[in-house]
Structure 1
């Protein structure tokens, strides 16, 4: 059984340790043959660094590492190219500053290739290095990993520093415009898609393949790849979970599959899958590596909480500028918390949603915690307790727990707490749907929430500074429960009113309907 490549982002190390490698070299060969300048945006821990490392070894002529892979007999191994590899996560820009960190990196590469460099200015040094490498060796390959890290590290905390780093990068990449004849291949990866005008204004021929169908599977795992390369691991999981093969695959699909960038295949998050096989436990792995505090706070500030299964125009995929008012949906998509669920080619609209259970559960916990003024773990416990109250048909306990959720509404930040009231209720009942059958709606034509147990169907109508009587009358007048009559369960209407003055549910009614 081959080793799991957990934490291994170096292609040479992965191959020499005989770890599992999902062969992407066929599509890499297509990439190299078709164009010269590329940009790819994908979420963190999705395989971008391994892709860059693979390209590094390929252009360096490390034929032995590609034995048995698709590209082995398609590549001309007699030709090698000098590589300028810039992994921004490894540059010490936090202490040195970005300009000095880049100068240090370029100087180091020059020494490795034994070329003499005299320039001290960043832009001139970059140009001198490229020309010297081309003259002494061959056309130059430039590989950039996590290009946006010196920017996104400071967005939301030190915007001035983010803008300074943006200017340094724009100056840095402008060198490439006049050096086309010295370049063999340029590949840039990152999480965010900052506008070309911000950073890549001089690279007019940069091919953004983020949403190109033929490169959908360049990183990430397809289901077929998992079945082919992890068969033995799936067997261990079957034994440990006491499930058959199809049941394990279905559970994996629910937890870690679902990512899509307009290709025909939905993709698994490699980090989640590898840790699943290592720990033999379905759990939150990818989300836990970095809590998206900036995004959560941005959604809270904009009182935006209904982000699953939303229909939106193609402009959401466009790049943005640091100085702009950030579009939270665009950021959620780029960072991997939302993915493409459906494309309507006739209208040009896209449906975005949570890719899988891992992301949905963790994101709901943090979002509910932010809106309700509690910790994410506390909000999860509260929702589970509400689920148990429903299962025992104890509606008074449901109301009590809901009141606990509502008591910390941050009215000192937002004097009008009504949007937060609706947010907490929406998120609570939507999150509840992970455990029991629960629907939550935002339309006047439908009930605010429907919860189904083994014996009952509960219809909720919520009011704010009105009355429970009005809410109950609306349940009856609108006939919210009529369509559930054929299910042969007790149909119960629950009318709830929240008092902004008392900051709690001050009145509620329950009545059997029909």
Structure 2
């Protein structure tokens, strides 16, 4: 019998009634809804936030049959139900109707489902009226707000519209203050962590559960959940590859927000288990649209190529204090990368309150390098990987002339006007991301680019060390490799070692000269 994978499904009812695989999260959901009232959770897209909210809605509506066989089934008081007010700002038609009109429609839909007539006119007072009437008629209200930040994220490149939307959302959420007697549970989810000052100043009792151990595995898939829930698939895959679990983990695991459990992105993992092919599934749906333009407008932005240390301020607020002024160019790249899922927490020092961030896994690292290389080189993402593959083939063939020709092509699509103003930034970004992606494609576990020479490339027969100099002699680059003994870490390696010094001309936007020297076996 073929198993059904709930790829992209956000309806708990459909998953349960139509026989899709469901990873039982009801024990941790029980902990959430029985130990607090006001919550906020930030997670990247495609991580299961919408399914979480839908599951909680079915729970409080008392739909017991849907939970048969799950942990919570015999532990929940099904005789007590609560009215649910559920907003998903991804589905309200904000772009086509406008934010205020979309909120009015969402309020009307919720009121109709609860059999309530609304008499107020303004969206904030209608929201308050809906809460009070629902509570008075049916009992304390459960309020679930999904993609709370979409009306803001979608307008990061329009500061005026962004500020207008922020003002509307602030007024909308301010209604929740002082409604304790009417609210059983409030849970807001989104991608970003806008500060309480900028958006939730009136909702200062909102508990942010984004970072920390207790609710780290609330969404996402843990290693034990993978091995338990997908045991038939794992057994079948192991027959062909005994090390398949480690490979899957290397590709798709590694997310964490302060807990001990590392997590899989459900979208990527489910797609792999269905197709049985290692691919970058999450990239096309997880990247904010404004990101490309932001990078190209401001090529001086610096993006980490590995571990980065940050304080909590870099994780707390997508827009910082410039939400009304700066637009996307004012956002820290590390903040964007963390909140969109490209970076995750690898370590936290409680004494210094310093977080160590890094790419969670191979899928994300490779996706990020493809993305940045495409943005900086003005090449389509579909051509980036084939170009790097040709570079790999040239290295393996020992064809250094072809390597340099291919390096030249990396810069050919950059508009001259932009190159003239930001040549240093484009130059370094393209070189680092190209060879970083090359390193991934070669499955090399040794990358010395950050600590020693510009680039180290390993093939089955050779170790190449490359030093690039912008508008400086190739001799200078080559001598630096020799004088600083960049091959020292590889003395015991029997492969042939080759030093390559490269002069790149900013005027010609091309490799102007290069020197090659064999330095021994």
Q: Which interval holds the TM-score relative to the shorter structure? A: over 0.9
* CA offset digits 1:479-511 (Å, max 9, x no partner): 111332211222211110011122211111011
In structure 1, how many angstroms separate the alpha carbons of the residues matched to 2:114 and 2:413? 61
Q: Contact (CA 8 Å) 1:426, 1:440: kept in 2 or not?
A: no
Matched residue, 1:264: 260
Residue 65 of structure 1, CA deviation? 1.2
Residue 294 of structure 1, CA deviation? 2.0
Q: What SS is found at the alignment partner of 2:175?
A: helix
In structure 2, how many angstroms separate the alpha carbons of the residues matched to 1:80 and 1:174? 26
Matched residue, 2:418: 413
**2:220 paired with 1:214:** no
In structure 2, how many angstroms separate the alpha carbons of the residues matched to 1:357 and 1:233? 21
Describe how 1:348-497 pairs up with structure 2 within 5 A.
348-415=353-420, 416-436=422-442, 437=444, 439-442=447-450, 446-497=452-503
Q: Contact (CA 8 Å) 2:99, 2:165: kept in 1 or not?
A: yes
Residue 347 of structure 1, CA deviation? 4.2
Matched residue, 1:8: 9
Counterparts in 2 of 1:504 and 1:330: CA distance versus 1, 3 Å:
same
In structure 1, how many angstroms separate the alpha carbons of the residues matched to 2:301 and 2:180? 47
* CA offset digits 1:39-86 (Å, max 9, x no partner): 000011111001000110111111111112111222211111111111
In structure 1, how many angstroms separate the alpha carbons of the residues matched to 2:146 and 2:84? 13
Moved over 6 A (4+): none
* CA offset digits 1:414-462 (Å, max 9, x no partner): 424122112111111111111223635255xx21111122222211111
Count of residue correspondences = 507
* CA offset digits 1:110-134 (Å, max 9, x no partner): 2222223211111111111111111
Matched residue, 1:230: 230
Matched residue, 2:511: 505
> Unpaired segments of 5 or more residues in structure 2?
none
> TM-score under structure 2 normalisation?
0.93
* CA offset digits 1:267-314 (Å, max 9, x no partner): 001011111122222212111235444224434423424342222223
* CA offset digits 1:220-275 (Å, max 9, x no partner): 00011011111122344446xx313xx22112112111111111111001011111
Residue 202 of structure 1, CA deviation? 0.7
Match of 2:314 among 297, 302, 316: 316
Matched residue, 2:33: 32
Report the aligned-residue RMSD.
1.8
Describe how 1:155-304 pairs up with structure 2 within 5 A.
155-156=156-157, 158-238=158-238, 242-244=240-242, 247-300=243-296, 301=298, 302-304=300-302
Q: What SS is found at the alignment partner of 1:343?
A: strand
| Stretch moving more, 366-375 or 209-218 | 366-375
Residue 26 of structure 1, CA deviation? 0.8
Q: Contact (CA 8 Å) 1:299, 1:328: kept in 2 or not?
A: no
Counterparts in 2 of 1:440 and 1:501: CA distance versus 1, 3 Å:
farther
Q: Contact (CA 8 Å) 1:307, 1:329: kept in 2 or not?
A: no
Matched residue, 1:122: 123
Q: Contact (CA 8 Å) 2:500, 2:514: kept in 1 or not?
A: yes
Counterparts in 2 of 1:130 and 1:347: CA distance versus 1, 3 Å:
closer
Q: Contact (CA 8 Å) 1:455, 1:489: kept in 2 or not?
A: yes
Q: What SS is found at the alignment partner of 1:213?
A: coil
Q: Contact (CA 8 Å) 1:223, 1:267: kept in 2 or not?
A: yes
> TM-score under structure 1 normalisation?
0.94
Matched residue, 2:46: 45
Q: Contact (CA 8 Å) 2:45, 2:285: kept in 1 or not?
A: no
* CA offset digits 1:166-216 (Å, max 9, x no partner): 111111111111211111110100011111122211111100000021100
Q: What SS is found at the alignment partner of 2:176?
A: helix
Q: Contact (CA 8 Å) 2:295, 2:375: kept in 1 or not?
A: no
In structure 1, how many angstroms separate the alpha carbons of the residues matched to 2:66 and 2:394? 58
> Unpaired segments of 5 or more residues in structure 1?
none
Counterparts in 2 of 1:23 and 1:414: CA distance versus 1, 3 Å:
same
In structure 2, how many angstroms separate the alpha carbons of the residues matched to 1:174 and 1:114? 24
Q: Contact (CA 8 Å) 1:366, 1:375: kept in 2 or not?
A: no
Matched residue, 1:337: 342
Q: Contact (CA 8 Å) 1:237, 1:277: kept in 2 or not?
A: no
Matched residue, 2:139: 138
Q: What SS is found at the alignment partner of 1:214?
A: coil
Q: What SS is found at the alignment partner of 1:90?
A: coil
